[in-house]
A and B are shown apart, each in its own frame.
Chain A
Amino acid sequence: MAYRTHLMICTGTACVSCGSFDIKKELEQEIRKHGLEKEILVVTTGCQGFCAQGPVMVVQPDEIFYQKLTSEDIPELVEEHFLKGRPVKRLMFTPPGEETPVPNINEIGFFQKQRLIALRNKGLIDPEKIDDYIGRDGYKAIAKVLSTMTSEDVIKEIKTSGLRGRGGGGFPTGLKWEICSKSKDNPKYIICNADEGDPGAYMDRSIIESDPHSVIEGMLIGAKAIGAHQGYVYIRSEYPLAISRLEIAIRQASEYGLLGNDILGQGFDFNIEIKQGAGAFVCGEETSLIHSIEGVSPEPRQRPPFPAQSGLWGKPTNINNVETWANVPRIIIRGAEWFASIGTEKSKGTKVFSLVGKINNTGLVEVPMGITLKEIIYDIGGGIPGGKAFKGVQIGGPSGGVVPSSSLDLPVDYERLVEVGSMMGSGGMVVTDEDTCMVDIARYFLEFTNDESCGKCTSCRDGSAAMLEILTRISDGNGKEGDIELLEELGRAIKDASQCGLGQTLPNPVLSTIAHFRDEYEAHIKEKKCPAHVCKPLISYRIESEKCTGCKLCSRKCPANAITGEVKEPHVIDQSQCIKCGICYDVCKFNAVLVETGKS
């Protein structure tokens, strides 16, 4: 008997950690209890993107979106919606600041403005079932390539599409393939870069978790184009769910003869092996990554020669990012012109961004290139929580830079981001508001890169340490006249003198925050003031005695026992005991706790 309803429950990493497998079990149990097991199918999908609302589930064909589900909700949900046909309003999504829930997934702002290519199958297939992928035209592109196209045709198609690398650099993919295909040496190798080291970025993990076959098929097409028969997926071992889904996918594809020898009976051979990395940021850099696969110390090396000429074991190697690969099958099926019609002059197609920080709708979004920041942050992201003012967005992780609020109308593409001192990077977006300190943000990223520098180049290793020391000094209130200029000079020198992208880009977060928020740095240095009230050494908490009712709430909550006072008498904070955690400020019902900053 055919099912009348499919329940698409998200089992991406975020929803799994919120209990989506328990919910699945409970759903199946309740469905059986009502005798509906032949009518209603529970389908586990990969990440559906709206991670902040997890666990999420979409009911098809009704297109109803449920969120923040718990096992306790399930008996009611099954009885009301699936037995009686009455969708349960309280489990639907209500946009921030509004009162009525939006039942239909296609009418929720977060999903509405997205355009899916790389994530085209998210939420629509079970990533552990190859047939589900095939039912969405999966492996049709490789069938077309093997039966009707030459290597040159494929390369031409990808070149015409305008696809550029999604791993950060934005290098034209078709051109990269062409260079590798023209290399005379043999054998050739294909690598998928799934190292994903940017803090806060998880688009590659999500693509693999929700649609692993799209990456495999992309690699097959690339292999055919350049003439490779062996491929590797380099993935960090911290991604167990993605690795397991990829293993299942490779096994299923091999069983169907979509990997191995004589693929689809077309005389082409290709195999894929998974290589697990230990999660060092520098291992995402292509030459380090190749060293890591070879089993030698994962340090970068000078380029040229580029991997396309001399890569893995000295052989021509084509390396692309997960998201880049996932785009490829769709370009072959829909055509280069279709892909090139989306986006801006030089940036075609879409980009997946992880939207995190001070934003209402945290999650993963895929948007057409050229969409404005405003659309991403307000229409999709639902704006800033608590009615706070938007300050800027840090794009591109530790290699990127901050785009200030004055650039909200900026169309997001490779070129425009570089123009404002940021970069696409792998697509991490950290949204900041008035309560974010820009010196602190810069310091956070520099701490990361300083930690992750492989140490080969002095400029990167010692330069990042020197910059971090200055930044720490500034946020501790010990900044000196001339520190800003010193940071700028060091930054430029590190960029010039480092061998790989890690060193060449690590000063960006500092340089861009100085460029756009110099006054904030100056306030820290000259007035010993942190305008956002973040840098602890520069702030103090005080209780305003006129407002304090002596309710004792703050003194009870203070973890340092720094607040004293009699009941119904104004309380005081002992500054020598205070650890500046801000709990008193948060709990006070009378706004009697003040934060002060600056020379007192």
Chain B
Amino acid sequence: MGKLNIEDLEKISQKVKKANLLRSGSARAKITVHMGTCGISAGARNIMNVLLKEMEGKESKEIILTTSGCAGFCSREPMATVELKGKPPVKYVDLTEEKIEKIFNKHVLNGEIVTEYALSIGSEREP
């Protein structure tokens, strides 16, 4: 890119902000895939891949994807938790590629909880 004017500067700024959103500690939506040994053997990697693919081109939706260890409920793996800003986290269990696609499109993008796949809403611990 050559010499910038003020509009170009703003465009770069917006683009980089989205790409670097995960450094800022604030996002509209956070998805955590549980990747313990149990999760991985139950297919958590696939879930992760589907999510990475779904997220492509949706930088403006302010989504961050992270992993955590075993969630302590190995028989229901793969599991993922979806947390929208200001809302209680929702845990989804027994995931498949189709299920996570649906969860991504309905819950993450549109804010509608997919109750039929949800295990619990809110955190098991007292906040």
Contacts and interface: CB of A to CB of B under 8 A. Distances in A.
Interface of A: 1-6, 8, 38-39, 60-63, 82-87, 106, 124-125, 131-132, 134-135, 137-140, 143, 147, 255-258, 262, 264-266
Nearest to A60: B23
Contact of A2 (B1, B5, B56, B66): B56
B23 A2 contact: no
B28 to A, nearest CB: 13
16 contacts: A1-B55, A2-B55, A2-B56, A3-B22, A4-B64, A6-B20, A6-B22, A38-B52, A61-B30, A63-B25, A84-B35, A84-B40, A85-B36, A124-B23, A257-B3, A262-B3
A11 to B, nearest CB: 16
Contacts of A131: 12, 16
B59 A2 contact: yes
Contact of A4 (B1, B3, B5, B65): B65
Nearest to B6: A143
Contacts of A39: 48, 52
A60 B19 CA distance: 12
A57 to B, nearest CB: 13
Contact of B5 (A38, A82, A265): A265
A85 B55 CA distance: 19
B27 A61 contact: yes
B12 to A, nearest CB: 5
Contacts of A258: 4
A557 to B, nearest CB: 46
A256 B40 contact: no
Contact of A256 (B4, B19, B48): B4
A264 B9 contact: yes
A234 to B, nearest CB: 28
A116 to B, nearest CB: 13
Given A2-B52, A5-B22, A86 B12 contact: no
A461 B4 CA distance: 52
B4 to A, nearest CB: 5
A399 to B, nearest CB: 38
A135 B6 contact: no
Contacts, number: 109
A134 B13 CA distance: 5
Given A62-B66, A135-B19, A265 B6 contact: yes
A264 B10 CA distance: 11
Nearest to A39: B52
Contacts of B27: 61
Given A38-B52, A86-B36, 20 more contacts: A4-B22, A4-B66, A5-B67, A82-B67, A84-B40, A85-B33, A85-B34, A85-B39, A131-B16, A132-B16, A132-B20, A134-B12, A135-B12, A135-B19, A139-B9, A140-B9, A143-B9, A257-B2, A264-B5, A265-B3
Contacts of A132: 16, 20
Given A86-B36, A265-B6, A134 B16 contact: yes
A193 B9 CA distance: 28
B120 interface: no
B111 interface: no
Interface string B34-70: 1111011000000010001101100100001111111
B22 A135 contact: no
Contacts of A266: 6
Contacts of A82: 67
A61 B23 contact: yes
B6 to A, nearest CB: 5
A256 to B, nearest CB: 5
B76 interface: no
B99 interface: no
Contacts of B67: 4-5, 82, 84-85
Nearest to A106: B25
Contacts of B13: 134-135, 137-138, 140
A2 B19 contact: yes
A86 B33 CA distance: 11
A134 B9 contact: yes
A85 B15 CA distance: 28
Contacts of B5: 264-265
A86 B9 contact: no
A61 B6 contact: no
